[in-house]
Amino acid sequence: DAGITQSPRYKITETGRQVTLMCHQTWSHSYMFWYRQDLGHGLRLIYYSAAADITDKGEVPDGYVVSRSKTENFPLTLESATRSQTSVYFCASRDTSSGNTIYFGEGSWLTVV
């Protein structure tokens, strides 16, 4: 099916471990985003990418790394997970032909213990 798929949907990891959240879109949208959602903070932008091999920091990039070697994939890596990174992570892409509507994946629930 077309759209954005995230994996894993649920993950429990230990403090200090590296974790990668995968994101794949089938629309070939240029822009892709990673947000985290936390109670009381709403959605906060971690990183975004304007095209393959072009990435930039959002509001809360510390502790995260992204790459975009292909237009359709935008993985997010937590290099050394901390408890404060326990959150729900949403990948998204933007359709610039339709008023810049953002489409979201289903989310990845990450718990760092």
Partner 1 sequence: AQSVTQLDSQVPVFEEAPVELRCNYSSSVSVYLFWYVQYPNQGLQLLLKYLSGSTLVESINGFEAEFNKSQTSFHLRKPSVHISDTAEYFCAVADSGGYQKVTFGIGTKLQVIP
> Cβ closer to partner 1: 40 or 83?
40
CB within 8 Å of 27: residues ≥ 6 apart: 2, 3, 93, 95, 103
Q: State in angstroms the smallest separation of the CB of 15 from partner 1.
A: 25
Relative to beta strand 10-13, strand 108-112 is: parallel
Q: State in angstroms the smallest separation of the CB of 56 from partner 1.
A: 9
> Cβ closer to partner 1: 28 or 100?
100
> Cβ closer to partner 1: 14 or 100?
100
What residues make contact with partner 1 under the rule CB under 8 A?
4, 35, 40-43, 90, 94, 99-107
> Cβ closer to partner 1: 10 or 18?
10
Q: State in angstroms the smallest separation of the CB of 57 from partner 1.
A: 12
Q: State in angstroms the smallest separation of the CB of 87 from partner 1.
A: 14
| Length of the chain, in residues | 113
SS3 state of residue 8: coil
Distance of alpha carbon 50 from alpha carbon 96, whole angstroms: 11
Q: Given the structure tokens 């890596």, which residue do they identify?
A: 77
SS3 state of residue 85: helix
